[in-house]
Structure 1
Amino acid sequence: MFGRYSLLGNNWSAAIGLEIHAQLTTKTKLFSSAPQQYGAPVNSTVTLFDAAIPGTLPVLNKKAVELAVISALALNCKVNPISSFDRKHYFYSDLPAGYQITQQRQPLAENGEVKFAVYQPGVHSKPYYKSSKIKQIQLEQDSGKSLHNTKLNQKYIDLNRAGTALIEIVFQPDLENEQEACALIKEVLTILKRAQTCSGKLEEGNLRIDVNISIRDENNNLGPRTEIKNVGSIHGVVHAIVQEKKRQINIIEGGGIVQNETFAWDVVKNSLTLMRDKEEANDYRFVPEPNLPPLRLIINNSTKEFHKDIRNKENILDLKHVPSKVPETPQNDRLYLIEKYGLSDVYAYNLVAQEKLLDFFKKLLSEDSSRDPKITYLLLMYKLLNALKVKSMDLENCYVSIDYLGQIIDMLQKKVISKMTGDYLIQEILNVDNSVSPSELVERENLKIISNPKELKKCCLKVMEREKPLVATYKKKNKIVYNELLRKVIEYTNNRADTNVLPQVLTEVLNDHLNNRL
């Protein structure tokens, strides 16, 4: 019996499971020679097999298998040496065969785990770490697209996408909220992009997510599960979970019973739309695919034993080279940054979230181990990103010199230049026509920092002489006048004043002036 629920919203808990469908970066489709090409003219990349013309047979794309295995290993899964294909029957207008070729009974891989960090500024003070178990990963073909013309009450079918190579990553329902779901999707996306097995372009439909949600009672018993199909964005997943949790809680608190239903996510209305009652597994009438033999893989020497009695060696794929292509996981990178460089959890999280900045960071510190990791992080995460934003430049297309960045970091670390001069130098090295190094610019434009208190005092006195009306209004603890004078002194020195020393010098000069005035 489903137990009693607390009426306090903060005490609700949910069990959320994701099924992530990732399109593999193959040149052709999973079972045909048609090109896998986004944006092609309607129905222009369709073979007879894709259109389910009788008499056509599937031919397995070996590259798709290789990419799927790399993905599975990158997601810490056990790759099965033998897997098989099944037909999953359902009837949509954009599924011409009336079934999808997938792997239900013997999937490509099983028992994986993704460790990831959950962090949302404003919600969490710092990242916390979570893991989600993977039940299985299966190779399968995609369906086509249905395009609706509501004015004419017509539906158009585009089969360009039909048969494209997918992996479906089925996670256990071990997430508790929308922040964790969002973080897991981002982690999987990063892993697949690092592995170069999925481009991760959500706007092109390369990643689509099904979300399963149940509410827990006070005894940790799960209620009926609902499913949200084909959500095409992380933003959509977050809002879909929030809405569905609220809907289920309202039903239960009102004395009703949550039904086992399937919803679609309406991108335009930003809301859920009921599709149908949730099918049971046997509604799909899974049967073995008769036109494809079992998929036999050799990943290492130990898996050879599974295939020693097979006469037809053409049915065996030797993928012993694949493990060397598996990249480092983002979570390992975070732990590495924390342990080796002493970065905070937040700093490590932010760096790993920006792949190119992480690459810059690693190169800068490997080039010179004496460089301060914190100064390097702050320059990349704030100075460089802000400069790119000012110049309307994209980080992915930024080819700034690592040597030039290193020079700026070294001068900041050795207090040769001020922070503001560092900002100026970043702007300069981003100019396409710039051929002068930061060190040369500092010498040529006389940009070295002024840290000597006597020099700074002279600058303060000169500014005060020029700003007599403003100085006359100054009183102790008058922050507005003080800050204005501070700004003018910095401006007078062409941003060369050491802002760690200047405030104390200016305070002393102003206090002397006040005492003399009294």
Structure 2
Amino acid sequence: MTGLALNCRINKKSLFDRKHYFYADLPAGYQITQQRLPIAVNGSLAYSVFVGKKRSQVINKTVRIKQIQLEQDSGKSLHDDLRSQTLIDLNRAGVGLLEVVLEPDMSCGEDAATAVRELQLILQTLGTSQANMAEGQLRVDANISVHHPGEPLGVRTEVKNLNSARFLAKAIDYEIQRQISELENGGEILNETRSFDYKLGCTVPMRDKEGKQDYRFIPEPNLPPLLLYDSASLPAGTDPQQVINIDRIRERLPELPSVTRDKLIQQYGMLPEHSLTLLNEVGLLEFFQNVIKETRAEPKKVTSWVLNTFLGFLKQQNLAVSESPVTPSALAELLNLLDRKTISSSAAKQVFAELWKSEGKTPAQIVSEKKLELMQDRETLEQLCHATMEQHPHVVMDMKKGNPRAINKLIGLVRKATLSRADPTVIKEILEKKLSA
């Protein structure tokens, strides 16, 4: 399924091999992998990078996928610098994993981090993996080399086990600058394995590869070839439950993140960067869609509230969408009150803050308790506007002279008299009518 989602050619016959090397986290002395004939090859991953001062310009890029292979996980080395010890955790050793090998098509840390985030979304959408990098469900090894344009790729270093997209970007950018500096000073780049020290923000050596290592690949004797079929090659009379049919899996592919983003842009007139944010935050798209279903407010207003106000509160409290005290129904009700001009924009933000603190209360209850309803009696508003104009004749004179700030000052004075319960648009309309009379 992952291979199909990444536009790969699926090999109907794939083979397993033994890769021999000695390291403390590999007690068997070899790793089962797919070196000769992996399960999927020649794919591609499209991703979008934001550039410009406001990061509002979108550049679409593609990285080629060399292959996807099934292999065996190793153990985990835990380095205790205080005691000068290395501990080995073998709990995950032998567990099957999927490795995606990318071609060297990316030129900076941001490209790699963005591509990995897109891959993470695809894996989560497919259900292949929860792909939580902090929990080790998705790990990245980065191979970095530098060279002059038109020249062959330089000697590469490998930075192992990066567990966040942010650290991936930092490690790559640091390593690029380190290699350039080393070469400019007359040094040479070693073919070595390094790790990223997130506290120092730099890469440090782990172990030398000692040139081109001979892994002594041999066919895995204990595992038969993995055979897959499509509808055309499926033998007659075969029980469909006993074989893997590529075409049937293709039919079951869910909507991929790129398609969902395009739909959001077309359906709601959403900016590309907003569609990316909705998908990048777990559960945020579902929250947004539930609000849209229950409110009469314009989609652009819903987008603004979800991405700015709602997401802003989540970030401040370091909460996931699933932990939010504000439900989609509550936000939809609040936006309906705002859309009907029952409350002002400033009052709506006050109500939202109360919703965050007062779980269980509805927006309507908070509006009633705090007396936040907009004044609907036009006659009373006209009287207040008249009184304010009489009390501040110098501001009225400024208005008549065409000072654009004067009208805003009068609006503010009227709203102050109503404890911010008057609609600024209605006040402006009344004031302009009185001035022209």
Q: TM-score, normalised by structure 1?
A: 0.70
Counterpart in the other structure of 2:422? 497
Give, in whole Å, the separation in 2 of the partners of 1:480 and 1:283.
77
Counterpart in the other structure of 1:147? 78
Against the structure 1 CA distance between its residues 357 and 487, is the aligned structure 2 distance closer, same or farther, given a 3 Å change threshold? farther
SS in 2 for 1:119: strand
Instruction: Pick which of 216-225 and 235-244 moved more.
Output: 216-225
SS in 1 for 2:57: coil
Residue 356 of structure 1 pairs with residue 283 of structure 2: yes
Give, in whole Å, the separation in 2 of the partners of 1:241 and 1:140.
25
Q: What does 1:263-274 correspond to in 2, within 5 Å?
A: 263-274=194-205
Alignment check: 8 A CA contact 1:119 1:183 kept: no
Letter in 2 for 1:365: I
Q: 1:449 aligns with which of 371, 374, 398?
A: 374
Letter in 1 for 2:374: I
* 1:149-186 superposed Cα distances (whole Å, 9 cap, x missing partner): 44544333221121223211111111122111111111
Give, in whole Å, the separation in 2 of the partners of 1:399 and 1:252.
55
SS in 2 for 1:101: strand
Give, in whole Å, the separation in 1 of the partners of 2:328 and 2:226.
46
Alignment check: 8 A CA contact 1:127 1:349 kept: no
Counterpart in the other structure of 1:201? 132
Give, in whole Å, the separation in 1 of the partners of 2:126 and 2:428.
50
Q: Which has the higher contact order (CA 8 A, sep 6+)?
A: 1
Give, in whole Å, the separation in 1 of the partners of 2:160 and 2:357.
46
Counterpart in the other structure of 1:330? 257
* 1:240-292 superposed Cα distances (whole Å, 9 cap, x missing partner): 11111112222343455544443222334332122445466661111111111
Counterpart in the other structure of 1:246? 177
Instruction: Pick which of 152-161 and 92-101 moved more.
Output: 152-161
Give, in whole Å, the separation in 2 of the partners of 1:183 and 1:236.
12
Residue 384 (structure 1) shift? 2.0
SS in 2 for 1:350: helix
Alignment check: 8 A CA contact 1:79 1:110 kept: yes
Counterpart in the other structure of 2:234? 304
Letter in 2 for 1:83: S
Give, in whole Å, the separation in 1 of the partners of 2:8 and 2:147.
28
Counterpart in the other structure of 2:329? 403
Residue 381 of structure 1 pairs with residue 307 of structure 2: yes
Residue 212 (structure 1) shift? 1.8
Letter in 2 for 1:108: I
Residue 216 (structure 1) shift? 4.2
Residue 434 of structure 1 pairs with residue 360 of structure 2: yes
Against the structure 1 CA distance between its residues 260 and 152, is the aligned structure 2 distance closer, same or farther, given a 3 Å change threshold? closer
Letter in 2 for 1:162: A
Letter in 2 for 1:288: P
Letter in 2 for 1:424: Q
Against the structure 1 CA distance between its residues 274 and 196, is the aligned structure 2 distance closer, same or farther, given a 3 Å change threshold? same
Counterpart in the other structure of 2:24? 93
Give, in whole Å, the separation in 2 of the partners of 1:214 and 1:260.
10
Counterpart in the other structure of 1:47? none
Q: 2:49 aligns with which of 98, 103, 118?
A: 118
SS in 1 for 2:93: coil
Counterpart in the other structure of 1:262? 193
Q: 1:167 aligns with which of 98, 101, 107?
A: 98
Q: 1:292 aligns with which of 202, 220, 223?
A: 223
Give, in whole Å, the separation in 2 of the partners of 1:447 and 1:405.
17
Against the structure 1 CA distance between its residues 460 and 175, is the aligned structure 2 distance closer, same or farther, given a 3 Å change threshold? farther
Letter in 1 for 2:274: Y
Counterpart in the other structure of 1:424? 350
Counterpart in the other structure of 1:49? none
Counterpart in the other structure of 1:24? none
Alignment check: 8 A CA contact 1:451 1:501 kept: no
Against the structure 1 CA distance between its residues 150 and 411, is the aligned structure 2 distance closer, same or farther, given a 3 Å change threshold? closer
Percent of pairs with identical residues: 37
Give, in whole Å, the separation in 1 of the partners of 2:141 and 2:18.
20
Residue 443 (structure 1) shift? 6.3
Letter in 2 for 1:496: R
Give, in whole Å, the separation in 1 of the partners of 2:180 and 2:315.
43
Alignment check: 8 A CA contact 1:182 1:237 kept: yes
Give, in whole Å, the separation in 1 of the partners of 2:122 and 2:428.
47
Residue 348 (structure 1) shift? 2.0
Q: Which runs of 5+ in 1 are unaligned?
A: 1-69, 513-518
Letter in 2 for 1:304: L
Give, in whole Å, the separation in 2 of the partners of 1:209 and 1:391.
29
Give the length in aligned residue pairs.
Answer: 432
* 1:290-321 superposed Cα distances (whole Å, 9 cap, x missing partner): 111111234x413525xx799x9999546765
Residue 98 (structure 1) shift? 0.7
Against the structure 1 CA distance between its residues 159 and 506, is the aligned structure 2 distance closer, same or farther, given a 3 Å change threshold? farther
Alignment check: 8 A CA contact 1:212 1:228 kept: yes
Give, in whole Å, the separation in 2 of the partners of 1:503 and 1:383.
27
Against the structure 1 CA distance between its residues 251 and 451, is the aligned structure 2 distance closer, same or farther, given a 3 Å change threshold? farther
* 1:315-343 superposed Cα distances (whole Å, 9 cap, x missing partner): 95467654455332222222111122211
Counterpart in the other structure of 2:338? 412
Letter in 1 for 2:344: S
Q: Which runs of 5+ in 2 are unaligned?
A: none
Q: 1:222 aligns with which of 153, 156, 164?
A: 153
Against the structure 1 CA distance between its residues 309 and 291, is the aligned structure 2 distance closer, same or farther, given a 3 Å change threshold? farther
Give, in whole Å, the separation in 2 of the partners of 1:294 and 1:246.
44
Alignment check: 8 A CA contact 2:407 2:428 kept: no
* RMSD between aligned residues: 4.1
Residue 234 (structure 1) shift? 1.8
SS in 1 for 2:43: strand
